[in-house]
Amino acid sequence: MPKLRLKTPVPPDKAALLRMMASLTAEMHLDYFVVGATARDMLMHYLHGFPIRRASPDIDFAIALSDWQMFDRVRAALLAYPSIAQDARIPHRLIYTPEDSAAFPLDLVPFGDVADQHANVVWPPDMAVVMSVVGYEDALAGAVLVEIADDLDVPVASIPGLVVTKFIAWRGRGMENEKDAVDLRYLIEHYHDAGNLDRLYGEEAVLLTACEFVLDHR
């Protein structure tokens, strides 16, 4: 798994929560990665310096789980921290309240064996909430390690992994919420300047020429 060192540190409140999750998943021997807006900001802003276009305080953790009992164990372990509470409306959302800053959501996104044959997660007990986790197995396999501190490395969805998960989310809720489309455009616009310029104009030049693709169309 490639390892990246951030040029700008993540805020202390988020770093503390990232450390909690890293410790918990290590103890439970679970594979996970950071996805969503925090993953986007870690790779695009804190690593490459692009401005944050759509601020979002939450952290999404995608966790590979064998069954729903393991999900309950993970949630219970997090709720054992005094700074973490259950959201009253959303079962996979917790609320983290740091000592010195405002509270923000922590979303748990289960995938793996808890998903059905169509890569949908159907939430017990009433099975009323359905979430697509198409692409999450590939996103885990392609995740990158991000060094948060000298003693803390966190797996984060790569830019291609974020594009896949954002595209799937946009397909499911794009008519009601434009945020996934906004993020997709942001990731695609900055992809070539996020450490990919030499590769795109080098080994991938034939492909770009065949597609008549211009990287900078502004």
Residue 114: closest CA among 138, 87, 133: 133
Per the DSSP assignment, residues forming a β-bridge with 155 are 145
Residue 215 lies in a domain: no
What is the predicted pLDDT for the residue at 210? Answer: 78
DSSP symbol at 46: I
Which domain CATH number covers 190?
Answer: 3.30.460
What is the predicted pLDDT for the residue at 216? Answer: 59
The pTM assigned to this predicted structure is 0.89
How far apart CA 115 and CA 70 sit, in angstroms, is 13
Residue 217 lies in a domain: no
Both tokens of 99, joined, read 């000592």
Residue 180 lies in a domain: yes
Question: What is the sign of the dihedral through the CA atoms of 125, 129, 134 and 140?
Answer: negative
Residue 93 lies in a domain: yes
Query: Burial code of 106-145, b = ≥16 C-beta within 10 A, e = fewer?
Result: bbbbbbbebbeeebebebeeeeeeebbbbbbbebbebbbe
Residue 35 lies in a domain: yes
> What residues make up the domain containing 85?
3-210
Biggest distance spanned by C-alpha atoms of the chain: 56
What is the predicted pLDDT for the residue at 130? Answer: 81
Per-residue confidence in pLDDT tens, the chain, 218 aa? 778 999 999 999 999 999 999 999 999 999 999 999 999 999 999 999 998 887 788 999 999 999 999 999 999 999 999 999 999 988 899 999 998 889 999 999 999 999 999 999 988 777 777 888 999 999 999 999 999 999 999 999 999 999 999 888 888 775 677 888 888 888 888 887 787 777 877 787 887 787 776 655 55
Residue 216 lies in a domain: no
What is the predicted pLDDT for the residue at 100? Answer: 86
CA angle 131/135/138 to nearest 5° reads 140
What is the predicted pLDDT for the residue at 174? Answer: 59
How far apart CA 148 and CA 39 sit, in angstroms, is 12
Residue 122 lies in a domain: yes
The total number of structural domains in the chain stands at 1
Residue 218 lies in a domain: no
Question: What is the sign of the dihedral through the CA atoms of 199, 153, 6 and 60?
Answer: positive
